[in-house]
Amino acid sequence: MAVSSIGVIGILLGGWASNNKYSLIGAMRSGLQTVSYELSVGLSILTIVLLAGSLQISEIVEAQRTGGWFILQGHIPAAIAFMIFMIAGTAETNRAPFDMVEAESELGAGFHTEYSGMKFAYFFLAEFINMFIIAAVAVTIFFGAYLSPFGITESLPWLGVVWFMLKVLVVIFLMMWFRWTFPRLRVDQLLTLEWKYLLPLNLMNIVLMAVIIWLNWTI
């Protein structure tokens, strides 16, 4: 999460270095959007950390080996955390309907308006790599990473890579589905969604998960 937040610096510098006011506005939007939705991404992961009882990725995955994936165990807070993670993760990657950074009707192409050639290609490549990283984190935290739903990963270890990539592709398809389905939000709607709805819901979800763990409930 800390490394993914550093990408905002590159976008801000890219928008500033292009010497275009629209690019600079797009870069500032990207910084504001990423910092805001980073909170929801972190808190949704923290919910699963409480459920798994560990901060280590390997132990979070192993906790899903016996009881099944967290998202399929019937834990309501885990399902809520996944929903929030997908919304916030899509917003963090600047994908539609959260692509305020490059709103064509307002800012042209956003922070990379003045770039062409390989510089322009690198911006787009970084965006797609960011999508893959968000999908990989979602698969690892919520869907057991390389674990098979049928318990056959142990007998055929190489199938773990296949299962992981298939899950990542499904999550990426879900992020693309958002783009095809929902219209672009306004800037005020984007921030209202995070600060007035997702963040309070995330905090209540963490409290609910803590109570469930404390009382040893299964909900």
Residue 129 DSSP code: H
Residue 152 DSSP code: -
Which helix (H) or strand (E) covers residue 191, if one does?
helix 187-192
- Give average pLDDT by consecutive 10-residue segment, the chain, 219 residues: 75 82 81 87 93 88 81 82 93 80 65 78 85 93 83 69 92 90 84 92 93 77
Residue 99 confidence (pLDDT): 78
Q: Are 208 and 120 in contact (CB under 8 A)?
A: no
- Can you read off the two tokens belonging to residue 171? 């999550």
Residue 214 confidence (pLDDT): 86
Residue 219 confidence (pLDDT): 54
- Can you read off the two tokens belonging to residue 196? 């007035």
Residue 140 confidence (pLDDT): 93
**Residues contacting residue 127 through CB under 8 Å, at least 6 positions apart:** 93, 94, 95
List C-alpha distances in Å: 183 to 18, 103, 195.
28, 12, 20
Q: Give the C-alpha separation, 106 to 94, whole Å.
A: 15
Which helix (H) or strand (E) covers residue 140, if one does?
helix 117-142
Q: How far apart are the first and last CA of the chain?
A: 28
Alpha helices by DSSP H, 53-116: 57-67, 76-92, 104-107
Helix 159-181 crosses helix 117-142 at what angle (to 10 degrees)? 110
